[in-house]
Amino acid sequence: MLKYILFLVFPVILIFSQTGPKLDITGGEDINTGSHPRGKEVHYEINFTNTGDSVLKINGVQATCGCSSALSSGDLFQPGESGTINFIFNGQGFGMVQKSLIVSTNETQTPYHTLHLNMNMVDPVTLTPQSIMAEGKVGDEMKQTATMLNSQDKEIIITEISSNTPVINVVSDKMKLAPGETASIVVSIKIVEESAINAAIIIKTSDGEFQIPVFVDVKTQ
């Protein structure tokens, strides 16, 4: 009698041990993508694995707003096989921005997954002051100091720093800025004539070009 009982129980255990396909997002479905320059497209790769025991089918990946899109690297994934979802966001917004993706699969219990992508949209650099204003008379030489903060979580390289007038000379104490690091920019201004100086400091970097406007009011003798 005991033999028959064991024979009947065994196939039941075998049936319930089958999990089917299973979409497993690396790091979880709440994703922190880090800091990105605002106004520039964000490209982020989401990795996943089929941790189930049958073929996983990605039926579709849909973004919840028109400002972002995503595409899977394939449709069918064998057990243990990995793939990617390529996410693109247009970069609009400031501060923490969250966008969502809905992934549809052939899983029985959880056929829909909502992925939340959290992005910190920042200006690549912070310039202080944002403009330089001064006054003087012909023959005066003056110095002003500005700072440039790397607001991102990656290195920024200053490729060129200059002004658009020969009466302003610009020197930076650093040409490479680690994340959170600040460069000191010394601005030397020489007044050679009685007309006002309306110019700009031009900072070219690996993340784009930035300017600090300079205005000097020239007083007559």
Domain of residue 203, CATH code = 2.60.40.10
Q: What is the pLDDT along the chain (221 residues), one digit of tens a residue?
A: 444 444 444 454 444 455 899 999 999 999 999 988 888 899 999 999 999 999 999 999 999 999 999 999 999 999 999 999 999 999 988 889 999 999 999 999 999 999 999 999 988 899 999 999 999 999 999 999 999 999 888 899 999 999 999 999 999 999 999 999 999 999 999 999 999 999 999 999 998 889 999 999 998 86
- The neighbour count for residue 178, using CB atoms within 10 Å, is 12
107 and 134 housed in the same domain = no
Q: Residue 123: what pLDDT?
A: 86
- The neighbour count for residue 197, using CB atoms within 10 Å, is 20
- Say which DSSP state 220 is in: P
Paired residues of 69 in beta bridges: 88
45 and 57 housed in the same domain = yes
Amino acid residing at 109:
Q
Per the structure, the complete domain to which residue 156 belongs is given by 125-219
Long-range contacts of 69-76 (CB under 8 A, 24+ apart): 70/46, 70/101, 72/103
d(CA 134, CA 218): 9
Paired residues of 170 in beta bridges: 187
208: left (phi over 0), alpha (psi -120 to 50) or beta: left
Identify the residue whose tokens are 């990617």.
84
Long-range contacts of 92-95 (CB under 8 A, 24+ apart): 92/38, 92/39, 92/67, 92/121, 93/38, 93/121, 94/38, 94/121, 94/122, 95/120, 95/121, 95/122
57 and 69 housed in the same domain = yes
Q: Residue 221: what pLDDT?
A: 67
Q: Residue 18: what pLDDT?
A: 58
183 and 130 housed in the same domain = yes
Amino acid residing at 3:
K
117 and 24 housed in the same domain = yes
Element (H, E) at 64: none
Q: Residue 2: what pLDDT?
A: 45
